[in-house]
Chains A and B, each alone.
Chain A
Amino acid sequence: DTGVSQDPRHKITKRGQNVTFRCDPISEHNRLYWYRQTLGQGPEFLTYFQNEAQLEKSRLLSDRFSAERPKGSFSTLEIQRTEQGDSAMYLCASSLVGNQETQYFGPGTRLLVL
């Protein structure tokens, strides 16, 4: 069990560019969550998947954001036409159905939009 991994760990981009982040959950975990964390705040829920199905999306997830989990394993979060307000830490977490109330977090991807 190698834990939840995220790639890249840091990303700097210019406003208007698209970025994509990847999350690899703990191997047997069928739930995967994305959060956004800004400086001095707690994580804010964005969306979650159970296997390949995206079951819930926050209103924070604007049309510029899209997430996928095509084979129920890793997931990607894409932000199109990035804005400076998108600068944040993007956290991924995973859990196991039957123990879904306990999430395990990855190290996060820190995004800076210039």
Chain B
Amino acid sequence: AQTVTQSQPEMSVQEAETVTLSCTYDTSENNYYLFWYKQPPSRQMILVIRQEAYKQQNATENRFSVNFQKAAKSFSLKISDSQLGDTAMYFCAFTSNTGNQFYFGTGTSLTVIP
């Protein structure tokens, strides 16, 4: 069975600083996808970044980047130049290459402090 673990329930960061959110997962599959989703307060979940397991290069999307360590089954999210609008719950998620089921972690609540 696939599991996704986020060990940081809450984090805070000063505006303009950098923060890293941690995620580990467990799977016996070789081909899969990992995601970070952002869920602002009372708003819908949006995709931040995705990573294909077969790609060694870490994904980046503007201020967001990941550190994907396949052997360690680790997938952390780095947010650079944090902005107030980054305040949200962040979920790490996993799916196999068939996309039949998605597995989410319990989330990390990030607060950006002005």
Which A residues contact B (CB, under 8 angstroms)?
A: 31, 33, 35, 40-45, 48, 55-56, 58, 91, 93, 95, 100-108
Bound state CA distance, A104 and B35, in angstroms? 12
Q: Knowing A101-B33, A101-B95, A101-B97 are in contact, say whether A107-B103 is a contact too (CB < 8 A).
A: no
Q: Which of A43, A48, A100, A105 meets B46, CB within 8 Å?
A: A105
Asked whether A107 lies within 8 Å of B104 as measured between CB atoms, the reply is no
Task: Enumerate chain A residues within 8 angstroms of B50, measured Cβ to Cβ.
Answer: 101-102
A-B contacts besides A41-B106, A43-B102, A101-B50, 18 pairs, CB < 8 Å: A31-B99, A35-B102, A42-B104, A42-B105, A42-B107, A43-B45, A43-B91, A43-B104, A45-B102, A58-B101, A101-B97, A102-B33, A102-B47, A102-B50, A103-B99, A104-B47, A105-B46, A106-B44
Interface size on B, residues (CB 8 A): 24
Bound state CA distance, A31 and B95, in angstroms? 14
- A–B complex contacts, Cβ < 8 Å, 18 sampled: A41-B106, A43-B91, A43-B104, A44-B104, A45-B102, A45-B103, A48-B101, A55-B100, A100-B98, A101-B33, A101-B99, A102-B33, A102-B35, A103-B47, A105-B45, A105-B46, A107-B44, A108-B44
Closest 8 CB pairs between A and B?
Answer: A42-B104, A100-B99, A105-B45, A107-B44, A101-B33, A101-B99, A45-B101, A43-B104
Which B residues contact A (CB, under 8 angstroms)?
A: 4, 33, 35, 37, 43-47, 50, 91, 93, 95, 97-107
